[in-house]
Amino acid sequence: MLDVYWLLRVCILTIQHADNTGTLFAFAPEFYLNVAMNSYSALKNYFSPSNCMDQLPGYEDTLTQLAAILAKHFADPRIVGTDIKDSLMQALASYVCYPQSLRAVERIPEEQRVSMMRNLLAPYEQRPWAQTNWILVRLWRGCGFGYRYTRLPHLLKTKPEDTNLPSLQKPCPSLLLQRHMAELLSLDKDMAASFLNSVLNQLNWAFSEFIGMIQEIQQAAERPERNFVDTRQLKVCATCFDLSVSLLRVLEMTVTLVPQIFLDWTRPSAELLLRRLAQLLNQVLNRVTAERNLFDRVVNLRLPGLESVDHYPILVAVTGILVRILVDCERQGVSRAASVLLSDPCFQLHSIQHLLGEGETSPTAAVIPQTPTVHPGGPAERKHFSLHAYTDYIHEEEEQKVEQMLAFLTIESKQAAASTAPTSEEDLCPICYAHSISAVFKPCSHKSCKACINQHLMNNKDCFFCKATITGVEDYSKPTAS
Closest CA to 296 of 315, 317, 323: 315
Evaluate whether residue 364 is within a structural domain: no
Write down which residue in 420, 446, 464 finishes a domain: 420
Evaluate whether residue 23 is within a structural domain: yes
Total structural domains within the chain? 3
Closest CA to 124 of 243, 233, 208: 243
* pLDDT value for 211: 92
Contacts of 188-195 with CB under 8 Å at 24 or more apart are: 189/267, 189/268, 189/269, 191/118, 191/121, 192/258, 192/261, 192/269, 193/261, 193/267, 193/268, 193/269, 193/273, 194/123, 195/121, 195/122, 195/123, 195/124
Evaluate whether residue 10 is within a structural domain: yes
- Could you tell me if 332 and 215 lie in one domain? yes
- Could you tell me if 245 and 301 lie in one domain? yes
In 10 A of CB 219, how many CB atoms? 11
- Could you tell me if 286 and 354 lie in one domain? yes
In 10 A of CB 419, how many CB atoms? 7
- Could you tell me if 63 and 37 lie in one domain? yes
- Could you tell me if 148 and 53 lie in one domain? no
Beta-bridge mates of residue 381: 373
Q: Could you tell me the mean pLDDT of each successive run of 10 residues in the chain, 482 residues long?
A: 70 73 60 71 60 69 87 84 84 87 93 95 86 94 91 73 69 94 95 94 94 86 68 90 96 96 90 91 91 83 86 95 95 93 88 80 37 38 76 92 94 80 76 83 90 77 89 81 54
Q: How far apart are CA 367 and CA 383, in angstroms?
A: 7
**Positive or negative torsion for Cα 354, 356, 362, 366:** positive
- Could you tell me if 342 and 430 lie in one domain? no
Evaluate whether residue 379 is within a structural domain: no
**C-beta of residue 340 within 8 angstroms of C-beta of residue 334:** no
Longest dimension (CA), the chain: 89
User: Residue 452, SS3?
Assistant: helix
Evaluate whether residue 375 is within a structural domain: no
- Could you tell me if 86 and 145 lie in one domain? no
* pLDDT value for 367: 36
Domain that holds residue 31: 1-108
* pLDDT value for 373: 41
In 10 A of CB 257, how many CB atoms? 18
Q: How far apart are CA 412 and CA 401, in angstroms?
A: 16
Evaluate whether residue 174 is within a structural domain: yes
**C-beta of residue 212 within 8 angstroms of C-beta of residue 238:** no
Q: Where are the alpha helices (DSSP H) in 108-174?
A: 110-120, 130-140
* pLDDT value for 162: 58
* pLDDT value for 429: 87
Q: How far apart are CA 404 and CA 410, in angstroms?
A: 10
- Could you tell me if 325 and 436 lie in one domain? no
Count the alpha carbons within 13 Å of 313 in the hemisphere toward its beta carbon.
23
Evaluate whether residue 194 is within a structural domain: yes
- Could you tell me if 187 and 212 lie in one domain? yes
- Could you tell me if 86 and 232 lie in one domain? no
Evaluate whether residue 115 is within a structural domain: no
- Could you tell me if 415 and 294 lie in one domain? yes
- Could you tell me if 210 and 321 lie in one domain? yes
